[in-house]
Amino acid sequence: MGYLFFLILLIPFMALSAYASSKVNSTYSAFDKVPNASHMTGYDTARRLLMRNGITDISVNRIAGKLTDHYHPTKKQVNLSASTYGSASVAAVAVAAHEIGHVMQKKTGYIPYKIRAFLVPVANLGSKLALPLVLVGILLDIFLFASEGAPYGQWLMYAGIAAYGLSTLFMLVTLPVEYDASARGKKMLVEEGILTKQELPGAKKVLSAAALTYVASLLISLVYFLRFFLIVMSFARRRD
């Protein structure tokens, strides 16, 4: 893949990523100004949904930042950002319910969630090692090709591509996990009377905007994976 073609592919997805980031912030801010009829905060929502589903070993904590909300399964914590924890807005309860959606995925053994949980440490390591392995492999391959040595460089490059591929696979599996958590959250909000059917469209807009950021990240990762793959294949063909 030529560098110009790479940029032609990458720039639209980078623009989509910037748009998604702006969209999730603006949508959250808009619906954070809309109080929900039940007057429940993000914290209230998380605690209520946990208790109604018989989950008593998960703590709900407040953390710094905006939209830094996440579920930490190992520590058994639902961490809500300062903008979500104490707010009784449509946006806040939507985000809180989404995180409880992840808790329910773990409880029910949702397969994509289990796959993503398995890939977390591998993907984190792979994303850190991928580029160094590819670069070292290229340099080693050039040196060994000149000295007619064994193709150890190619093996390192292939390892780098595989490592980056794992991180891309993680992003791919993340999509159904995030969409499913949002679907579970919206359903629980209505069933528990935390949001009315009239308020639900606002919650959907907040969660849909957040999901778009994952789509953009996956597309960017796929473009980089394709570029790395073609670079490595090009070196391999030259050696052969």
Contact 94, 203 (CB under 8 A): yes
Best CA proximity match to 27, nearest among 217, 214, 210, 211: 210
Identity of the amino acid at 88: A
Best CA proximity match to 233, nearest among 133, 165, 158, 159: 158
What is d(CA 158, CA 30) in angstroms, rounded to the nearest whole number?
47
The DSSP letter of residue 53 is T
3-state secondary structure of 77: strand
199 is catalytic: no
Catalytic-labelled residue, pool 99, 178, 191, 199: 99
Where do runs of H (alpha helix) occur along the chain?
Answer: 3-31, 42-52, 82-85, 90-108, 111-146, 152-191, 200-239
Residues with catalytic annotation? 99
